[in-house]
């Protein structure tokens, strides 16, 4: 009805040249929306991505009124929207287009004035919402329309109406949250009246030449979610009411199924978008875990979608599209779906950034400029800390030599990528490799750096990024042949028996349990077994169950009986990421891994591992005991270097040994080199 993007429906001209017009940067609320200096920083953030050839992008969710804001003081657009001009000007000057996402939180709003169709509280928010009156519903619809109008006045090319992930619109649509018996509840037709009216009034208010993208929940992944037939009917009704195109939304936030984290296979949900192709005439956009240009292009070429949305990949690399179009895809800094710098930060109330790109959302502050004087710099260690320092320093014009004792770059990321689900960590190593070539960094592999050699070479500065070594455990029997470290398992490939105890349930302990409970080992991230993953998590590919759910359960049994142990008496996995920990725990439980806390380790002998739990002595009769009991800084070189008068900087694990802390290592390396 509103073919503002006729090229999306036209035949393809392949070769990555399509990506500028077929890739959209998906909506991400970064926390800059509420930051005092947010508009200036967002202008730079979005402007950089437009310069990087992203043709279309969407802002983070902005509420149309105070009740719908995500938290107290959450961003709304119910005033003149002056600050937004900075954003739209920056994007337009760089030749891009930008939509404002209108998102009403409904019962997900974390404040006492939260409203919803019915007073049904959510598992993930302790505020019980108040039911909207009929008059308030009509006013909320007007608020959506006038918010879109203000967005238009502020220069936006359109809006995205957030109709998925369990926010207000979905709360109206689902029986799970809508218990009304008036015109807005009960029958399907009544329940979809709210989104249809929002669309109709927004179109009326903004005119035909304004893009109205609607984020449609293709799979609710909760009990009481929409059936497939209802989803199609909703899409058709929204199309008739004025939608320009549809973006894919997957899963309510309260769903017990992961939808974006690292263990979600690439392109895990594109089939849901493909299923809607042909059911409506307007273009459809696929989303979630699409992080590779060849994957994006293949998706469009095969007719599974008209366009692809990528959100986090543009945190990881503002120049993703430009690099792909210049046929330099190997230089893309790929999103590894760790959630550590983005979603986890948002949940902690921090401004979002990116583990592999600490400049994301800090573009105005973390500036990389040519160095006033060029130096000779030695970087010892090619893990995340060393590589991020080396790349940034070389970009500034310094002459950098990287020494690496191993036969390959990457440090501990070489172990991380062996974990099923973390295969994408290998992409970061690939990216670092491409930058070594591009920036002519000298790389000395299989080269254990020594103080005398470094001093003789006359470096101006030495960066010690030598990482960590596993912490030794003081326990009777620790030298028993059954005992091995996580390095023996993940790096040395030592054979592990069928009954295993893992000592230490930090991030690495959980990763080792994942590794050992998986019969296949890591896979090729470009060819994931999506069907198996969907069956394991109980996601229905056939449109037979409401909400897209089907019975879950392990498709492949663990080849080992594994017990994961920790000293602390609390639940295991507390230290894992806020947005990933619950799913990692669930994955292990699915595979039958026993999680035991409050353990006192007594000794190891031929009988196995002797422990005490809740005052009761137990012997775990196991073939192997894998030690994942923390790490300590590896900085032996430091004393000798300092004694010889050299300028030395410690970064990453060599500075502070914390288990899963590549985020800190990369940020520290980048910031030190930028300074």
Ligand X SMILES: Cc1cc2nc3c(=O)[nH]c(=O)nc-3n(C[C@H](O)[C@H](O)[C@H](O)COP(=O)(O)OP(=O)(O)OC[C@H]3O[C@@H](n4cnc5c(N)ncnc54)[C@H](O)[C@@H]3O)c2cc1C
Ligand Y SMILES: Cc1cc2nc3c(=O)[nH]c(=O)nc-3n(C[C@H](O)[C@H](O)[C@H](O)COP(=O)(O)O)c2cc1C
- Residue 411 partner contact from ligand SF4, ligand X, ligand Y, none using kind-dependent CB cut-offs of 5 to 8 Å: ligand X
- Residue 581 partner contact from ligand X, ligand Y, ligand SF4, none using kind-dependent CB cut-offs of 5 to 8 Å: none
Stretch that binds ligand Y, among 236-244, 304-312, 354-362, 516-524 (CB under 6 A): 304-312
553: alpha, beta or left, given left = phi > 0 and alpha = psi -120 to 50?
Answer: left
C-alpha closest to that of 254 among 281, 230, 225: 225
Binding residue for ligand Y (CB under 6 A) from 342, 387, 391, 662?
342
Instruction: Give the integer Cα–Cα distance in Å for 186 and 190.
Output: 6
C-alpha closest to that of 411 among 425, 397, 400, 401: 425
Which of 259/638 has CB closer to ligand Y? 259
- Residue 609 partner contact from ligand Y, ligand X, ligand SF4, none using kind-dependent CB cut-offs of 5 to 8 Å: none
> Is position 356 an interface residue for ligand SF4 (rule: CB under 6 A)?
yes
- Residue 356 partner contact from ligand X, ligand SF4, ligand Y, none using kind-dependent CB cut-offs of 5 to 8 Å: ligand SF4
Binding residue for ligand X (CB under 6 A) from 260, 502, 653, 674?
653
Provide the greatest CA pair distance for the chain: 83
Q: In what order do the strands lie in the sheet with 624-627?
A: 483-485, 624-627, 499-503, 561-565, 594-596
Residues in 328-347 at the binding interface with ligand SF4, rule: CB under 6 A:
335-342
Q: Which residues have a Cβ under 8 Å from the Cβ of 652 and sit 6 or more positions away?
A: 381, 383, 384, 385, 386, 465, 467, 661, 664, 665, 668, 669
Q: At its nearest, how many Å lie between ligand SF4 and the CB of residue 388?
A: 13
- Residue 148 partner contact from ligand Y, ligand SF4, ligand X, none using kind-dependent CB cut-offs of 5 to 8 Å: none
Instruction: Give the integer Cα–Cα distance in Å for 466 and 535.
Output: 42
Interface characters, 562-591, with ligand SF4 (x: CB under 6 A): ------------------------------
> Is position 361 an interface residue for ligand SF4 (rule: CB under 6 A)?
no
Query: Pick the catalytic residue: 5, 156, 167, 431?
Result: 167
> Is position 428 an interface residue for ligand Y (rule: CB under 6 A)?
no
Instruction: Give the integer Cα–Cα distance in Å for 301 and 279.
Output: 18
Q: Residue 227 gets which letter from DSSP?
A: P
Q: At its nearest, how many Å lie between ligand Y and the CB of residue 204?
A: 24
C-alpha closest to that of 382 among 347, 412, 341: 412
Binding residue for ligand Y (CB under 6 A) from 56, 100, 154, 343?
343
- Residue 217 partner contact from ligand X, ligand Y, ligand SF4, none using kind-dependent CB cut-offs of 5 to 8 Å: none
CA distances (Å), 627 to each of 396, 470, 633, in order?
Answer: 41, 9, 17
Neighbours of 633 (CB within 10 A): 18
| Active site (annotated) includes residue 5 | no
C-alpha closest to that of 296 among 15, 577, 621, 641: 15
Instruction: Give the integer Cα–Cα distance in Å for 625 and 202.
Output: 62
Sign of CA dihedral 225, 230, 236, 241: negative
Residues in 300-329 at the binding interface with ligand SF4, rule: CB under 6 A:
312, 315-316
- Scored b (16 or more CB within 10 A) or e, 37-59 reads ebbbbbbbbbbbbbbbbbbbbbb
Residues in 351-410 at the binding interface with ligand X, rule: CB under 6 A:
380-386, 403-406
Residues binding ligand Y: number (CB under 6 A): 23
> Is position 264 an interface residue for ligand SF4 (rule: CB under 6 A)?
no
Residues in 147-176 at the binding interface with ligand Y, rule: CB under 6 A:
162
303: alpha, beta or left, given left = phi > 0 and alpha = psi -120 to 50?
Answer: left
Structure tokens at 614: 């809740």
- Residue 478 partner contact from ligand SF4, ligand X, ligand Y, none using kind-dependent CB cut-offs of 5 to 8 Å: none
> Is position 311 an interface residue for ligand Y (rule: CB under 6 A)?
yes
> Is position 415 an interface residue for ligand X (rule: CB under 6 A)?
yes
Instruction: Give the integer Cα–Cα distance in Å for 224 and 179.
Output: 12
> Is position 287 an interface residue for ligand Y (rule: CB under 6 A)?
yes
Residues binding ligand X: number (CB under 6 A): 38
Interface characters, 611-650, with ligand X (x: CB under 6 A): -----------------------x--x-------------
> Is position 346 an interface residue for ligand Y (rule: CB under 6 A)?
yes
Instruction: Give the integer Cα–Cα distance in Å for 64 and 184.
Output: 20
Q: H helices within 163-319, ranges in order? A: 168-173, 188-191, 193-206, 228-241, 270-276, 293-301, 313-316
Q: Which residues have a Cβ under 8 Å from the Cβ of 40 and sit 6 or more positions away?
A: 86, 364
- Residue 354 partner contact from ligand Y, ligand X, ligand SF4, none using kind-dependent CB cut-offs of 5 to 8 Å: ligand SF4
Which of 162/234 has CB closer to ligand Y? 162
> Is position 310 an interface residue for ligand Y (rule: CB under 6 A)?
yes
CA 41 and chain centroid, separation = 21
Q: H helices within 74-167, ranges in order? A: 82-93, 134-153
Binding residue for ligand X (CB under 6 A) from 448, 570, 589, 647?
448
> Is position 652 an interface residue for ligand X (rule: CB under 6 A)?
yes
Which of 300/513 has CB closer to ligand Y? 300
Neighbours of 83 (CB within 10 A): 17
Question: Which residues sit at the interface with ligand X, rule CB under 6 A?
Answer: 338, 340, 380-386, 403-406, 411-413, 415-416, 419, 448-449, 465-468, 490, 508, 511, 634, 637, 652-654, 660-663, 665
Catalytic amino acids?
A: 167
Interface residues with ligand Y (CB under 6 A)? 26-29, 60-61, 101, 103, 162, 215, 260, 287-290, 310-313, 342-343, 346, 352
Q: Name the site residues for ligand SF4 (rule: CB under 6 A).
A: 312, 315-316, 335-342, 354-356
């Amino acid at each position: 009805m509103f073919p503002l993007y006729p090229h999306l429906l036209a035949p393809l001209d392949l070769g990555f040249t399509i990506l500028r017009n077929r890739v959209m940067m998906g909506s991400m609320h970064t926390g800059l929306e509420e930051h005092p200096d947010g508009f200036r920083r967002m202008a730079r953030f979005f402007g950089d991505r437009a310069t990087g050839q992203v043709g279309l992008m969407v802002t983070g969710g902005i509420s149309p009124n105070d009740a719908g804001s995500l938290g107290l003081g959450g961003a709304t657009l119910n005033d003149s929207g002056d600050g937004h001009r900075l954003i739209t000007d920056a994007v337009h000057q760089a030749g891009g287009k930008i939509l404002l996402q209108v998102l009403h939180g409904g019962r997900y709003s974390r404040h006492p004035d939260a409203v919803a169709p019915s007073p049904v509280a959510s598992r993930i928010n302790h505020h019980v919402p108040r039911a909207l009156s009929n008059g308030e519903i009509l006013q909320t619809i007007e608020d959506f329309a006038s918010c879109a109008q203000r967005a238009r006045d502020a220069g936006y090319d359109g809006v995205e109406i957030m109709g998925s992930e369990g926010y207000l619109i979905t709360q109206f649509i689902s029986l799970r949250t809508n218990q009304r018996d008036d015109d807005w509840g009960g029958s399907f037709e009544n329940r979809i009246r709210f989104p249809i009216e929002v669309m109709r009034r927004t179109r009326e208010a903004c005119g035909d030449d304004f893009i109205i993208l609607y984020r449609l929940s293709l799979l609710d992944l909760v009990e009481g979610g929409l059936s497939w037939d209802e989803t199609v009917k909703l899409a058709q009704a929204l199309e008739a009411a004025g939608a320009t195109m549809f973006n894919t939304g997957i899963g309510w936030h309260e769903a017990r199924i992961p939808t974006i984290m690292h263990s979600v296979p690439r392109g895990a949900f594109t089939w849901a978008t493909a299923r809607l192709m042909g059911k409506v005439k307007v273009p459809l956009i696929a989303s979630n875990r699409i992080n590779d240009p060849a994957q994006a292009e293949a998706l469009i070429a095969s007719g599974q979608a008209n366009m692809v949305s990528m959100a986090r990949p543009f945190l990881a690399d503002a120049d993703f599209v430009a690099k792909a179009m210049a046929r330099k895809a190997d230089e893309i800094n790929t999103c590894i779906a760790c959630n550590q710098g983005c979603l986890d930060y948002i949940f902690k109330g921090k401004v979002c950034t990116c583990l592999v790109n600490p400049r994301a959302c800090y573009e105005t502050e973390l500036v990389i400029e040519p160095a006033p004087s060029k130096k000779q710099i030695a970087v010892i260690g090619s893990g995340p800390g060393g590589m991020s320092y080396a790349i940034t320093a070389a970009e500034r014009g310094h002459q950098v030599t990287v020494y690496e004792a191993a036969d390959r770059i990457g440090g501990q990321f070489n172990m991380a990528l062996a974990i099923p689900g973390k295969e994408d960590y290998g992409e970061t190593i690939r990216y670092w490799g491409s930058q070594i070539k591009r920036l002519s960094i000298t790389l000395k592999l299989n080269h254990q750096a020594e103080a005398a050699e470094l001093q003789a070479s006359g470096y101006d500065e030495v960066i010690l990024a030598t990482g960590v070594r596993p912490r030794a455990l003081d326990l009777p029997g620790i030298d028993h042949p059954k005992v091995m470290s996580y390095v023996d398992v993940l790096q040395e490939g030592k054979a592990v028996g069928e009954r295993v105890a893992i000592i230490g349930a930090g991030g690495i302990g959980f990763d080792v349990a994942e590794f050992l409970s998986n019969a296949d080992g890591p896979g090729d991230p470009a060819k994931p077994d999506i069907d198996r993953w969907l069956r394991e998590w109980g996601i229905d590919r056939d449109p037979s169950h409401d909400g897209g759910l089907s019975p879950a359960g392990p498709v492949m049994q663990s080849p080992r009986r594994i017990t994961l142990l920790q000293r602390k008496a609390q639940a295991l996995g507390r230290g894992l990421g806020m947005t990933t920990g619950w799913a990692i725990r669930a994955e292990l439980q699915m595979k039958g891994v026993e999680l035991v806390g409050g353990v006192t380790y007594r000794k190891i002998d031929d009988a196995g591992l002797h422990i005490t739990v809740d005052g009761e002595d137990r012997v775990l009769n196991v073939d192997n005991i894998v030690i994942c009991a923390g790490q300590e800084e590896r900085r032996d070189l430091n004393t000798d270097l300092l004694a010889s008068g050299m300028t030395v900087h410690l970064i990453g694990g060599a500075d502070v040994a914390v288990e899963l802390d590549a985020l800190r290592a990369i940020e520290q390396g980048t910031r030190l080199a930028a300074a």
